[in-house]
Amino acid sequence: MNDFTFDDYKTMIEDHIMDFMPDVDLKSITLYEAMKYSISAGGKQIRPVLLLAACDFCGGKAAEALPYACAVEYIHTYSLIHDDLPCMDDDDLRRGIPTNHKVFGEAVATLAGDGLQSVAYEVMQKDMLLYFDDPDALKRKIKAALEIVKGAGVKGIVAGQIADIEAENKSVSKELLDYIHLTKTAALIVAAVRAGARLGGCSEHDLENLTVYAENLGLAFQVCDDILDVEGNAEIMGKQTGMDAEKMKATYPALYGIEESRKKLKQLTDNAINALSEYYDNAELFVKLAGELATRAS
Ligand code: GRG
């Protein structure tokens, strides 16, 4: 693996995130403005960075994975816009600024999410069209796109979202809570890592290890989010806090309490890091990211 840091990859994404957006059509300029508003609002870019890093880690070239990394960020951003809508979580603040529907209205925000999702698929398909005379590369790209489509789909974040909504105001089992967070939150993180690995031409063994890493990181990500929501640091979060309790959401602190949630976070972080122990310093970016996440909520 090269020596690129998280910030190096993040800069790559930020430099190119607009490259794959369609040209502005004056008849739908409001739609483009709304899509751009959320895309350029300063997300942490964790998923696309993981995709690029996994591609490099497995022997590929990050620059060639950019369309897929940006596609993941488009899908993630669409999911946040829709999640914030009044018919879902009804949030006013996201990425430190008013949510999309607060600025553009609910109808435009819904369409901005739809638009971002369709651009994601278009970007990946267009890239595949360039590789018809290189069947091995084409196969890697098809497999990577399928990982992303699945993570975004009815067994991924959409499944998680409906389970999350249906669990509101109910007491849920530990199994259901894990299912919600594995789908709602971890699915797209797992998809990003696996897609990057596929693009890099990974071995089955490396894919398996990276998947265990990503599942644990994804769950840790959610536990961290739950803890920060209770502890109420809106500045770190870039969104309102205390909302989970208000909406009686199924969360780790609600089911396990804060101290147990912290232990769970540590355990998940350790699991993620241990999954990559055989790679020593070659997996430094992944290990560091898991460690930093755990520190945010401790
Ligand atoms: C609407 C289909 C559909 C799915 C929504 C993503 C999601 C599923 C819900 C968002 C609710 C939420 C707070 C989930 C926890 C995961 C999480 C912390 C998302 C925010 O991701 P970050 O922190 O955000 O990577 P940025 O803004 O940095 O990209």
Average pLDDT value for residue range 213-220: 98
- Cα 46–chain centre separation: 7
Q: Residues 159, 191: contact at Cβ < 8 Å? A: no
- Nearest atom (ligand 1) to Cα of 73: 29
Of the residues 83, 154, 289, 296, which should be mutated to test ligand 1's pocket, given the most ligand atoms within 8 Å of the CB?
A: 83
Q: Does 298 have pLDDT greater than 90?
A: no
- Nearest atom (ligand 1) to Cα of 82: 1
Tell me: the pLDDT tens digits for 110-141? Answer: 999 999 999 999 999 999 999 999 999 999 99
Q: How many CA atoms lie within 13 A of 121 on its CB side?
A: 12
Q: Find the residues whose C-beta lies inside 6 A of ligand 1.
A: 43-44, 46, 76, 79-80, 82-83, 95, 157-158, 160-161, 184-185, 222, 225
User: Which residue is closest in CA terms to ligand 1's atom 13?
Assistant: 225
Q: Does 242 have pLDDT greater than 80?
A: no
Tell me: the pLDDT tens digits for 45-81? Answer: 999 999 999 999 999 999 999 999 999 999 999 999 9
User: Which residue is closest in CA terms to ligand 1's atom 29?
Assistant: 43
Q: What is the CA radius of gyration of the chain?
A: 19
Measure the CA–CA gap between 75 and 77, rounded to whole angstroms: 5
Average pLDDT, the chain: 95
Q: Which residues contact 247 (CB under 8 A, 6 or more apart)?
A: 89, 168
The model's confidence at residue 180, banded by pLDDT at 50, 70 and 90, is: very high
pTM for this entry: 0.96
Average pLDDT value for residue range 216-235: 89
DSSP states along 125-187: HHHHHTTTT-HHHHHHHHHHHHHHHHHHSTTTHHHHHHHHHHHTTS---HHHHHHHHIIIIIH
- Nearest atom (ligand 1) to Cα of 94: 27
Among 40-49, 225-234, 246-255, name the most confident range. 40-49
Question: Which residues pair with residue 98 across a beta bridge?
Answer: 93
Among 12-16, 116-120, 121-125, 255-259, which is the least confidently predicted range? 255-259
Measure the CA–CA gap between 236 and 254, rounded to whole angstroms: 21
By the 10 Å C-beta count (0-12 exposed, 13-18 middle, 19+ buried), 180 is classed as: buried
Q: At CA 74, angle to CA 294 and CA 56, rounded to 5?
A: 60
User: Which residue is closest in CA terms to ligand 1's atom 23?
Assistant: 44
Average pLDDT value for residue range 83-89: 97
Ligand 1 center to residue 185 CA distance, Å? 7
Helix, strand or coil, per DSSP, at residue 293: helix
Residue 243 confidence (pLDDT): 78
Ligand 1 center to residue 61 CA distance, Å? 27
Ligand 1 center to residue 79 CA distance, Å? 7
